[in-house]
């Protein structure tokens, strides 16, 4: 089954404690991306990657890091989380040509 998986699905943490949200896709997609969804703001792109070892900033990259060492995986790293990073996060992947993205189920992060 074609899918994008994210882990964990729910996470409560404290300010400053480093965390990683994993993302994996099984469709051999070139393009992968992270978004955050906040009330009234829609989906905003954090980082995207067009292929292995190629990453670029989206609209809201501050406070986040990513890496793309393998085609299937695209982890999101928060080195020092802050309460304003409390949000619902989605990972997505697509064939680069069409951008018709498959989204993961989301990770709800709370930073206290």
Partner 1 sequence: DQQVKQNSPSLSVQEGRISILNCDYTNSMFDYFLWYKKYPAEGPTFLISISSIKDKNEDGRFTVFLNKSAKHLSLHIVPSQPGDSAVYFCAASAEDDKIIFGKGTRLHILP
Please report, as ranges, the residues that interact with partner 1 according to CB under 8 A: 4, 31, 33, 35, 40-45, 48, 50, 56, 58-59, 90, 92, 96, 98-106
**Nearer Cβ to partner 1 (47/78):** 47
Closest CB to partner 1 among 36 and 75? 36
Q: Is 30 exposed, middle or buried (0-12, 13-18, 19+ CB in 10 A)?
A: middle
Which neighbouring-strand residues pair with 6? 23
Half-sphere exposure of 107 (CA within 13 A, CB side): 27
Q: What is the nearest approach in angstroms of partner 1 to the Cβ of residue 16?
A: 29
- Residue 15 CB, nearest approach to partner 1 (Å): 26
Q: Of 63, 59, 89, which Cα lies nearest the Cα of 74?
A: 89
To partner 1, the closest distance from the beta carbon of 55 in angstroms equals 11
């Amino acid at each position: 089954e074609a899918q994008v998986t994210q882990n964990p699905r729910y996470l409560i943490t404290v300010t400053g404690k480093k965390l990683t949200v994993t993302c994996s896709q099984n469709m051999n997609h070139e393009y992968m991306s992270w978004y955050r969804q906040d009330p009234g703001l829609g989906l905003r792109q954090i980082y995207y990657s067009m292929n292995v070892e190629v990453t670029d900033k989206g609209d809201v990259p501050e406070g986040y890091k990513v890496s793309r060492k393998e085609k299937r995986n695209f982890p999101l790293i928060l080195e020092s989380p802050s309460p304003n990073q409390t949000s619902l996060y989605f990972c997505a992947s697509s064939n680069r040509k069409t951008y018709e993205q498959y989204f993961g189920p989301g990770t709800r992060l709370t930073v206290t």
